[in-house]
């Protein structure tokens, strides 16, 4: 979500006449977009802001702004804490940003704008930025959250849930596709409630409409709240041929007492039932999740219940977080806090267990042929991949199940020039690592079948 918001901010700045620079030293304006979902993200934001003091000393005309959730949460306090900040703008002030920056340019004043409205405000996004050359892009379809999980700061810093009008979403995706984008990731804190408040149609219907966009190959979304995941959305994994075979379904804990204290409004039994329904409908679906360890009052036995749920589900991947107190979140007042050391120990146990499943799932794909969309050169250009001395450029892409696949283009028997970002490539998987797969390209676009990638196993 922050990546998407940063793109929107950058678009507004470019429209004002600013140009992006990759060098902080050359910047006339620095905007830090922040996240406050966990204490660590907030600490990182303040330490980055602190480092900007030197730049401001060298160039007193430098404008420094801070936006996003930390800005929303702390407001004017940031000006006191960080004397070289010129602008603090909240999560609902992005549209007002150009006006705020012009004021600072003209009057050299300091501004705080963290105004928020509780009224659903149908929002529109700026047109897709032109200077991106990406295959996959985020598209926000909803903002805010009404769920009030007791550990979470989001409802307080992002406001009430609001859905974006489908026409505006479709328009943005069409324009992205026009720029060469092949995959969109639809974003909302709980996509299951898309359109409900506004009396629009529901999320499965939105998916069906997005599917009709010509030139778009794949659709992903995040996040679906388990309490609201219904059969219509589950069926979409079968009915919608562009919808990828992957769902991120955050469970947070395997203990019913913890889930109740977290205000998640489901039980572990209901969660397991939804997982079973997903796998019945779409046997190939990859399921990933979020887990919080050390929630206040979590006993050893309750932590074991989380491990037990992981053993039952065998997630494809897991984001595990150490619980941290957040301002305004009710759990901050809960007693029986777990010690930092115990939280770290539990996190390690959980990560070790997950690694066995991630490895097992990755190894199961050895021998299969997976369709990926070539995204570009891999960040890690090795001087020689597995069993190969320096075989050339290393490409990367993702399977429909969201697993990273790397390959060398000159392993392809046809013309290497045929591989370019956005092309569908069929890759025969030969090796599995902890966080990626390795294979050889066997077919490129014109012959590659659907974008989901039917799994066919080599003899």
Task: State yes or no: residue 149 binds ligand SF4 (CB under 6 A).
Answer: yes
Quickly tell me which residue has 């770290």 as its tokens: 344
The phi and psi torsions of 232 (rounded to 5 degrees) equal: -60, -45
257-316 residues near ligand SAM, rule: CB under 6 A: 290, 292
Please work out the total of residues on this chain that contact ligand SAM, with binding judged by CB under 6 A: 17
Q: Between 143 and 428, whose beta carbon lies closer to ligand SF4?
A: 143
Q: Of ligand SAM, ligand SF4, none, which one does residue 321 interact with (CB within 5 to 8 Å by kind)?
A: ligand SAM
Q: Check residue 267 for interaction with ligand SF4 (CB under 6 A).
A: no
Q: Does 155 bind ligand SF4 (CB under 6 A)?
A: yes
Q: How far is the CB of 251 from ligand SF4 (least distance, A)?
A: 11
Tell me the two tokens of residue 129. 């930025």
What φ, ψ does residue 292 adopt, rounded to 5°?
-110, 130
Q: Is 151 in the site for ligand SAM (CB under 6 A)?
A: yes
Binding partner at 150 among ligand SAM, ligand SF4, none, C-beta below 5 to 8 Å by kind? none
Phi-psi category of 335—alpha, beta or left, where left has phi over 0 and alpha has psi -120 to 50? beta
Q: Which residue is listed with tokens 């903002």?
A: 143
Taking CB under 6 A as the criterion, the residue among 134, 140, 163, 190 binding ligand SF4 is: 190
Q: Are 271 and 309 in contact (CB under 8 A)?
A: yes
Q: Give yes or no for residue 358 binding ligand SF4 (CB under 6 A).
A: no
Backbone CA torsion sign across 360, 361, 364, 369:
negative
Instruction: Find the binder of ligand SF4 among 189, 222, 358, 401 (CB under 6 A).
Output: 189
For ligand SAM, the closer of residues 191 and 285 by Cβ is: 191
CA 61 to chain centroid, in Å, comes to 35
Neighbouring-strand partners of residue 269: none
Residue 440 CA to residue 408 CA, distance in Å, equals 7
Of 225-264, binders to ligand SF4 (CB under 6 A) are: 225
Contact criterion met (CB below 8 Å) for 450 and 371: yes
Window 319-348: contact mask with ligand SAM (x via CB under 6 A): --x-xx-x----------------------
Whether residue 427 contacts residue 378, with contact meaning beta carbons closer than 8 Å, is answered with no
Chosen residue from 154, 185, 187, 206 binding ligand SF4 by CB under 6 A: 154
Binds ligand SF4 by CB under 6 A, chosen from 10, 145, 210, 405: 145
Smallest gap from Cβ 178 to ligand SAM, in A, equals: 30
3-class DSSP state of 191: helix
DSSP state, 34?
E
How many angstroms separate the CA atoms of 231 and 243, rounded? Answer: 15
User: Running DSSP on this structure, what letter comes out for residue 31?
Assistant: E
Tokens for 425?
A: 């490539």
Residues at the site binding ligand SF4, with contacts judged by CB under 6 A:
145, 147-149, 152, 154-155, 189-190, 225
Residues at the site binding ligand SAM, with contacts judged by CB under 6 A:
37-38, 151-152, 154, 189-190, 223, 225, 250, 252, 290, 292, 321, 323-324, 326
């Amino acid at each position: 979500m922050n990546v998407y918001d940063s793109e929107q901010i950058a678009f507004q700045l470019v429209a004002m006449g600013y140009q992006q620079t990759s060098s902080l030293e050359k910047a006339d304006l620095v905007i830090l977009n922040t996240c406050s979902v966990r204490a660590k993200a907030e600490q990182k934001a303040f330490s980055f802001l602190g480092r900007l003091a030197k730049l401001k000393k060298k160039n007193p005309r430098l404008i420094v702004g801070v936006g996003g959730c930390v800005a929303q949460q702390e407001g004017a306090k940031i000006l006191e804490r960080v004397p070289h900040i010129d602008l603090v703008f909240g999560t609902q002030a992005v549209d007002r940003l150009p006006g705020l920056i012009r004021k600072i340019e003209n009057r050299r004043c300091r501004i705080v704008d963290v105004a928020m409205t509780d009224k659903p405000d149908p929002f529109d996004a700026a047109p897709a930025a032109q200077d991106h050359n990406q295959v996959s892009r985020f598209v926000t379809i909803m903002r805010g959250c009404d769920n009030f999980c007791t550990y979470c700061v989001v409802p307080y810093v992002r406001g009430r849930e609001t859905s974006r009008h489908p026409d505006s979403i479709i328009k943005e995706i069409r324009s992205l596709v026009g720029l060469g984008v092949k995959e969109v990731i639809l974003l909302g804190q709980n996509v299951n409630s898309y359109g409900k408040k506004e009396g629009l149609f529901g999320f499965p219907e939105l998916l069906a409409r997005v599917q009709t966009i010509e030139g778009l190959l794949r659709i992903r979304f995040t996040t679906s709240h388990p309490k609201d995941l219904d059969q219509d959305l589950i069926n979409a994994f079968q009915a919608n041929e562009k919808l990828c075979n992957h769902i991120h379904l955050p469970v947070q804990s395997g203990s019913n007492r913890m889930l109740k204290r977290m205000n998640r409004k489901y039980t572990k039994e209901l969660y397991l039932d939804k997982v079973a329904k997903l796998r019945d409908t779409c046997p190939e679906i990859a399921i990933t999740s979020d887990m919080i360890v050390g929630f206040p009052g979590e006993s050893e036995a309750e932590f074991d219940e989380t491990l037990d749920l992981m053993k039952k589900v065998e997630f494809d991947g897991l984001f595990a977080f150490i619980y941290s107190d957040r301002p305004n979140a009710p759990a901050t007042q809960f007693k029986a806090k777990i010690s930092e050391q115990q939280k770290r120990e539990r996190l390690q146990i959980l990560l070790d267990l997950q690694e066995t499943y991630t490895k097992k799932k990755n190894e199961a794909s050895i021998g299969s042929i997976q369709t990926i969309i070539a995204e570009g050169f891999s960040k890690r250009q090795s001087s020689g991949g597995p069993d190969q001395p320096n075989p050339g450029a290393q490409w990367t892409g993702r399977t429909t199940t969201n697993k990273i696949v790397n390959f060398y283009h000159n392993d392809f028997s046809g013309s290497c020039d045929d591989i370019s970002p956005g092309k569908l490539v069929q890759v025969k998987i030969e090796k599995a690592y902890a966080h990626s797969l390795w294979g050889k390209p066997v077919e490129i676009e014109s012959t590659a079948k659907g974008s989901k990638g039917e799994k066919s196993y080599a003899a």
